[in-house]
């Protein structure tokens, strides 16, 4: 294996447990001639061994560390990491038909995501070095789980930064259209082939469970940026009377309606295909629970200031639609948006909306999306739960 030596003291980040070495951590000449996905040894500026990983001079992330042993990554390592990942899911998702099985760097398999939807296994890979293991991962996971169908959803646009093609293809079995699976007692119709991500957003599972404990019988729910309505359906199952799903994706809302029919509450779900901000500006009804779970507005650090302004505007509009005593679940899935930033924008939004609020709970990503403490990029999801007390600015609070 080729050896790449980091400059200055950049290696201290790797020593602490971070798994990425940036392109700027190296002399440009050191990366010359490195093939995308090549396995390399990593050393400090003093020549101390740091680990082995996959290099890619095309990417801003020049090396992704895979192992701390001084040997080339092999099939045995991949199998061991998969077994370790599944052991954790068996602890936190025993018998679950739907789960995140592998979560990239956090499970020691950079760029690899694997999700189960009943009989369907969906794999997504965004790192050149891991491409060689796609078939092994599919065979190992499907063999252990007994899934019939394996879909490769390599649609993450980060693949282009790695010099890889974007594609969706069948690795095993057959795909006849959306599958219906049980997710925490809710029947969800999932499109693993053409839906967003791998089919559902699984990272809010514990947050949805928390909010379902706060819903009262018959309450009115508003699910913003709903996609296929997993928040809304979870709350309907917990006793909510009615729910409105708002999303700009008509196909996603068709899945939401199909799930409502599968659960027997089609007459309790309303869907609105519209821009969320436009919808909130026009809506006059009050809701008991509002979920604001937008896409990542800050996918790059340079977009952060603009993204925070959008978060604040959306939170203010959402708070205005809540009845006194109602609850807002406000989330951010951008790793660049810190917990403190989101809270600051929520405080400003409450003031703008003239609402007095309490922060009653906080959540992060689900248990099957583990975090590496030394790698903040793996801790991307923040979710805050606010209770609306009433109005301020001279009005009494309820």
DSSP 8-class letter at 335: T
Tokens of 130: 């891991």
Pairing of strands 2-5, 269-273: unpaired
Which candidate, 81, 75, 26, 84, places its Cα nearest to that of 55?
26
Distance in angstroms (rounded) separating the CA atoms of residues 239 and 99: 24
Q: Which of the residues 192, 333, 364, 383 is marked catalytic?
A: 333
Q: Measure the CA angle with vertex 385, ends 383 and 391; round to 5°.
A: 135
DSSP 8-class letter at 35: P
Alpha helices in 106-265 (DSSP H): 134-145, 158-161, 205-212, 230-237, 250-263
Phi and psi for 394 in degrees, rounded to 5?
95, -10
Alpha helices in 175-292 (DSSP H): 205-212, 230-237, 250-263, 276-282
Q: Which residue has the tokens 């009653």?
A: 360
- Spatial CB neighbours of 178, under 8 Å, sequence gap ≥ 6: 189, 190, 191, 192, 195, 255, 258
Q: Distance between the two ends of the chain, CA-based, in angstroms?
A: 67
Confirm whether 245 is a catalytic residue.
no
Which candidate, 100, 99, 169, places its Cα nearest to that of 134?
169
Distance in angstroms (rounded) separating the CA atoms of residues 380 and 375: 10
DSSP 8-class letter at 198: T
Tokens of 363: 């959540």
Active site residues: 333
């Amino acid at each position: 294996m080729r050896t790449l030596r980091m400059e200055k003291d950049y290696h201290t980040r790797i020593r602490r447990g971070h798994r990425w070495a940036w392109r700027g951590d190296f002399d440009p000449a050191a990366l010359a001639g490195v093939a995308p996905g090549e396995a390399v040894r990593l050393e400090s500026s003093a020549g101390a061994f740091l680990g082995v990983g996959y290099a890619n001079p095309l990417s801003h992330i020049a090396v992704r560390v895979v192992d701390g042993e001084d040997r080339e990554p092999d099939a045995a390592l991949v199998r061991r990491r998969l077994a370790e990942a599944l052991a954790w899911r068996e602890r936190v998702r025993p018998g679950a038909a739907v789960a995140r099985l592998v979560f990239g760097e956090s499970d020691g398999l950079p760029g690899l995501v694997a999700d189960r939807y009943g009989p369907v296994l969906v794999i997504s890979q965004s790192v050149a070095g891991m491409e060689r293991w796609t078939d092994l991962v599919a065979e190992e996971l499907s063999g252990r789980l007994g899934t019939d169908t394996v879909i490769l959803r390599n649609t993450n646009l980060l693949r282009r930064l790695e010099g890889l093609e974007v594609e969706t293809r069948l690795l095993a079995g057959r795909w006849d259209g959306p599958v219906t699976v049980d997710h925490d007692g809710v029947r969800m119709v999932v499109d693993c082939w053409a839906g967003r991500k791998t089919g559902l957003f699984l990272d809010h599972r514990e947050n949805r469970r928390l909010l379902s404990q706060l819903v009262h019988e018959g309450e009115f729910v508003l699910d913003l940026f709903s996609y296929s309505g997993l928040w809304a359906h979870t709350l309907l199952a917990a006793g909510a009377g009615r729910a409105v799903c708002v999303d700009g994706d008509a196909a996603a809302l068709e899945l939401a309606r199909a799930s409502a029919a599968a659960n027997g509450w089609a007459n309790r779900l309303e869907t609105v295909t519209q821009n969320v901000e436009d919808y909130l500006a026009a809506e006059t009804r009050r809701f008991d629970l509002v979920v604001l779970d937008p896409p990542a507005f800050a996918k790059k650090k340079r977009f952060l200031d603009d993204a925070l302004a959008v978060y604040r505007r959306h939170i203010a509009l959402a708070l205005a639609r809540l009845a006194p005593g109602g609850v807002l679940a406000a989330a951010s899935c951008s790793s660049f948006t810190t917990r403190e930033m989101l809270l600051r924008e929520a405080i400003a939004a409450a003031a703008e909306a003239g609402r007095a609020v309490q922060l009653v709970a906080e959540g992060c990503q689900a248990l099957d999306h583990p975090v590496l403490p030394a790698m903040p990029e793996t801790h991307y999801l923040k979710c805050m739960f606010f209770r609306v007390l009433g109005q301020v600015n001279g009005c009494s609070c309820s």
